[in-house]
Structure 1
């Protein structure tokens, strides 16, 4: 793998994930038993040793369910993530809070457990979740993590709080401005984390992103560096190099016809649901291109991004971009991995048909652990649970082990967090007058298994 990666855990079989670390992994402070005068002294562990001791699933076999196994691709795993019925498992309910941003946009925060279900201590760790392309808190891959993470400890869970950041227009969140979201725009997650930190100042915040949300999370952590309010991150099925991976979708007939078209259709349907809201901004580029976009029945993802996302997928500057490919180059997260300064776990499948280029070297970043499974598809990883015979997502196991480890075992110090203040009702961060948020009416109780009908789930 080159000189940048000197520690690769050697798999005993092809079904064991391959783990990649920097030559000299970061040392993390870990909690030690309280023993007299040594109570304030905390041992340091290298990131590879920290993970080896606390994430055993990353060092054991992942055996795909036999009827989803295919030797040359992850199509079956990915297809099951899209068409499988997960409505009867991992039931999660939320309280929704709507946040208005300075530009007039709206994002939705779905918190679980709901207030009427149980009350948690103010210092309970919080899992901050970013969903995929057109997903939301209802997605099965989100619930597969949050259901056990937020189950009480006495019932076998972690007992954490979960908060899903639903992007503009997704999962029933109203579209109140013509600006959309994208793989590279981080200000919405930034203000969401500011709001969460302000609401729960004693809680430890742990970030996890899926697919497009993993890309946003990676870029956010890289941009924040030592000022990150999230103390750890986990990126699942991140697209990383958007140029090369988009090119892989476009250059392969099957990928272009199935995946690129399905993702474009999801985005078209999402815009169609908000057509009336977009019509309130008749002079905006989004309103002018909307009829053409909605009427194109053969649009690919790159074509959609070339007409919509590269123009309105974030604030100006840097938007608009001349083309989808210029936007992809800017939005990619593989080159910023080196700037992350919190413990970070990346999980990808080698046979993912959507993400085919993986930056396992991570720029030599000592804070990054990169795990790659041979099988799993895109947001799949379905395997058989031996005890029950059920088909469930294997990836939930290492993610939960990671969340417990960084939520409970590490000691967080030397963070350079900027103070928050309120100006004209908007929560802002010192030194950033251009972004902010405030709560608005419209939040409600949300049942997580009630999804966005008509969309291809899991993409």
Structure 2
């Protein structure tokens, strides 16, 4: 009876917020536009500026569990909402790889000042700037202020081979490899030196963002981060995907099929490197009709999911241990908001304690699935994503009220045409051309969206 009462209670549907025992002290503006400052801890900062995190999220009645929420994120038609268009730029990395940066609003639509804040977005497993969850955030964030938006710039970092980005080296991407986002942020910061950069990652991209912020510490060029549906402990997730019949045959194989399709699409490019171990496993990988995710990671990701070292790994499980982000949460040194759902069928562990890190706030909803969070708009009756409300509030708060302190200033220089950070010569990038105009609602055919 008590369980039934709690289910119908408004408090039951409110997200659970987790903070360190002593949340980090932040310098903030005393009031909007003020030059005076005051001190607030992270919990006070969020309580004052992110009201959606303290109100109920009640899922649409016919999407009442994590499986249905996740399924709707994959099969739902979002082509007529949150339309976003981009200008594409290609970056070349030192190893010959290519990263695609999609920037919105396009220059032909609206020019922003160079100091306009920038939301740097990392997509999910085989996604890109076309994904509905990406557009759900960028549409309100990048809409002009006079039209009710925040007026920010959005830049999506499309991983190697994703969203139409060419594969120009025998290296892919993975949940643990951070050098591509590192050089992308380096390029963005150099291009817009007066802009605040705020990171947000979804699913696999959230894992990459978390690891990047942890590795950078006080050197991070991103002043804050937001991780949405981060997978955290890849070992535990893989075990559940392997050991449950439904999870193995639905989620694991769906993700592996997407990755297999992505590799097949770039097979001709990979065959230009016949001696590379990744190329040598292609015939076997592409010939199998039904792969599990761990089988794909065993054959491909552990070999070509990043630079050497640490790649290749002896097994997929060694890669999972290395790439997991839950164990590095304690090292983040910028304000960081994580949002997960309890009923996410893909994510098994939620490290809400965050290693006691005072810079981390962890919000957990009862429902929402993986990259879902669909609710019914009481005014229109249409299904909408609840997620955009707290995320937009967070992005607005860290841009408008947070005073950035304690950041280390890192110098850069150009060596042989590549932009590098002084003191680190192993990574760098250079712009190698434009990719034209990209319409965000035009998804990548042949791949399941929403993952």
- 2:280 pairs with 288, 313, 322, which one? 288
Report the Cα offset of residue 228 of structure 1. Answer: 0.2
Structure 1 residue 65 and structure 2 residue 63: aligned? no
Deviation by residue 1:307-330 (Cα, 9 ceiling, x = unmatched): 000011000000000011000000
SS across alignment from 1:183: coil
Whole-angstrom CA distance in 2 between matches of 1:62 and 1:54? 17
SS across alignment from 2:427: strand
Report the Cα offset of residue 386 of structure 1. Answer: 1.6
Which residue does the alignment assign to 2:37? 42
Contact kept, 8 Å, 2:374 with 2:386, in 1: the verdict is: yes
Report the Cα offset of residue 87 of structure 1. Answer: 0.5
Whole-angstrom CA distance in 1 between matches of 2:300 and 2:434? 27
Report the Cα offset of residue 133 of structure 1. Answer: 0.3
Which residue does the alignment assign to 1:81? 73
Q: Flag structure 2 segments of 5+ consecutive residues without an equivalent.
A: 1-8
Report the Cα offset of residue 185 of structure 1. Answer: 0.3
Whole-angstrom CA distance in 2 between matches of 1:390 and 1:251? 37
Contact kept, 8 Å, 2:85 with 2:106, in 1: the verdict is: yes
Which residue does the alignment assign to 2:421? 429
- 2:47 pairs with 36, 43, 52, which one? 52
Which residue does the alignment assign to 2:236? 244
**Aligned residues: CA RMSD:** 1.2
After superposing on structure 2, the runs of 4+ consecutive aligned residues of structure 1 that deviate more than 3 Å are none
Structure 1 residue 154 and structure 2 residue 143: aligned? no
Contact kept, 8 Å, 2:32 with 2:400, in 1: the verdict is: no
Whole-angstrom CA distance in 2 between matches of 1:34 and 1:279? 56
Whole-angstrom CA distance in 2 between matches of 1:335 and 1:264? 25
Whole-angstrom CA distance in 1 between matches of 2:358 and 2:236? 25
TM-score (norm 1): 0.95
Which residue does the alignment assign to 2:112? 120
Structure 1 residue 110 and structure 2 residue 98: aligned? no
Whole-angstrom CA distance in 1 between matches of 2:87 and 2:144? 18
Whole-angstrom CA distance in 1 between matches of 2:51 and 2:80? 28
Which residue does the alignment assign to 1:27? 25
TM-score (norm 2): 0.97
Which residue does the alignment assign to 2:6? none
Structure 1 residue 185 and structure 2 residue 183: aligned? no
Which residue does the alignment assign to 2:384? 392
After the TM superposition, which residues 2-401 of structure 1 pair with which residues of structure 2 at under 5 Å, given as runs?
Answer: 13-33=11-31, 41-70=36-65, 74-401=66-393
Which residue does the alignment assign to 2:3? none
SS across alignment from 2:37: coil
Whole-angstrom CA distance in 2 between matches of 1:293 and 1:324? 15
- 1:441 pairs with 428, 433, 444, which one? 433
Contact kept, 8 Å, 1:128 with 1:205, in 2: the verdict is: yes
SS across alignment from 1:209: strand
Whole-angstrom CA distance in 2 between matches of 1:308 and 1:336? 25
Report the Cα offset of residue 34 of structure 1. Answer: 8.8
Contact kept, 8 Å, 1:228 with 1:417, in 2: the verdict is: no
